[in-house]
């Protein structure tokens, strides 16, 4: 079974609109549905990496889950290359809050000497490499070539200042900032389950200015993205 996961009911509503479907999906209560002849499980994880990891653990305990797709909105570090409303597939998930906090305020992911996990591909410190094209094929999904690609950064608190955004951008070179992706990507990597993360840009990271936000546009783009994936 294919899992379609969003952080919030509002994002799930936007996803289903792409199929002309409606369903009430609340956090912690998965809903089975058929979309374009394919059986899927709709999951609202709740906001944040802890909720995402908790939801992933419960989902991957099931024997019928053979792939997970995370759909949602995200902030862009560079709106010139990742414009408001555009869609992007994550090529890597980064959790910048794991490791040892150094005197200069940066975090060394290897500073405490313990990797989060050791997989066949190597130890997991603060990031999980993703294969959007390969995992899309394995799940029988179609990944649009028109969508951007790049690394996605998972944070526990959204960057509210340009200074924090600039610091994260310089160190990690990520395209997007989100709050759930790493928890889902990490869980799927540990279990060897295909994973795909597609997000639409709702805002400029670090800015609270009204002109740097387009949440409604980003939500409206989620439905067509989901529809394009499931052929």
Average pLDDT over the chain, rounded to whole? 96
Q: How many domains is the chain partitioned into structurally?
A: 1
Range of the domain at 116: 2-229
The whole-number pLDDT of residue 108 equals 96
Q: What is the pLDDT of residues 22-80, one digit of tens each?
A: 999 999 999 999 999 999 999 999 999 999 999 999 999 999 999 999 999 999 999 99
The whole-number pLDDT of residue 159 equals 94
CATH (domain of 134): 3.40.50.1580
Over range 185-198, report the average pLDDT. 98
Q: What is the pLDDT of residues 101-138, one digit of tens each?
A: 999 888 999 999 999 999 999 999 999 999 999 999 99
As a whole number of angstroms, the distance between CA 207 and CA 131 comes to 30
As a whole number of angstroms, the distance between CA 3 and CA 6 comes to 10
- Pairing type for strands 38-44 and 176-178 reads unpaired
Over range 168-194, report the average pLDDT. 97
The percent of residues above 70 in pLDDT, for the chain, comes to: 100
Task: Indicate whether 231 pLDDT > 90.
Answer: no
The percent of residues above 90 in pLDDT, for the chain, comes to: 98
Q: For residue 108, give every residue at least 6 positions away whose Cβ sits within 8 Å of its Cβ, in sequence order, or none.
A: 99, 100, 102
pTM here is: 0.96
The whole-number pLDDT of residue 218 equals 98
Place of tokens 């199929």: 19
């Amino acid at each position: 079974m294919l899992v379609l996961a969003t952080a919030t009911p509002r994002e799930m509503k936007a996803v289903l609109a792409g199929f002309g479907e409606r369903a009430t999906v609340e956090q912690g209560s998965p809903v089975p549905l058929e979309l374009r002849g394919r059986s899927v499980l709709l999951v609202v994880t709740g906001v944040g990496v802890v909720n995402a990891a908790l939801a992933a653990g419960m989902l991957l305990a099931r024997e019928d889950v053979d792939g997970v797709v995370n759909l949602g909105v995200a902030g862009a570090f560079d709106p010139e290359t990742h414009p408001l409303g555009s869609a992007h597939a994550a090529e890597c998930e980064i959790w910048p809050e794991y490791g040892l906090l150094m005197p200069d305020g940066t975090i060394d992911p290897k500073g405490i000497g313990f990797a989060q996990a050791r997989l066949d591909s190597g130890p997991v410190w603060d990031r999980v490499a993703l294969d959007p094209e390969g995992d899309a094929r394995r799940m029988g999904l179609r990944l649009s070539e028109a969508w951007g690609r790049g690394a996605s950064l998972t944070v526990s608190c959204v960057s509210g200042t340009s200074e924090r955004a600039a610091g994260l951008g310089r160190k990690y070179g990520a395209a997007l900032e989100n709050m759930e992706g790493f928890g889902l990507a990490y869980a799927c990597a540990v279990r060897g389950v295909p994973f795909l993360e597609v997000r639409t840009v709702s805002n400029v990271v670090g800015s609270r200015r009204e002109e740097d936000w387009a949440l409604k546009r980003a939500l409206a783009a989620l439905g067509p993205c989901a529809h394009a994936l499931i052929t």
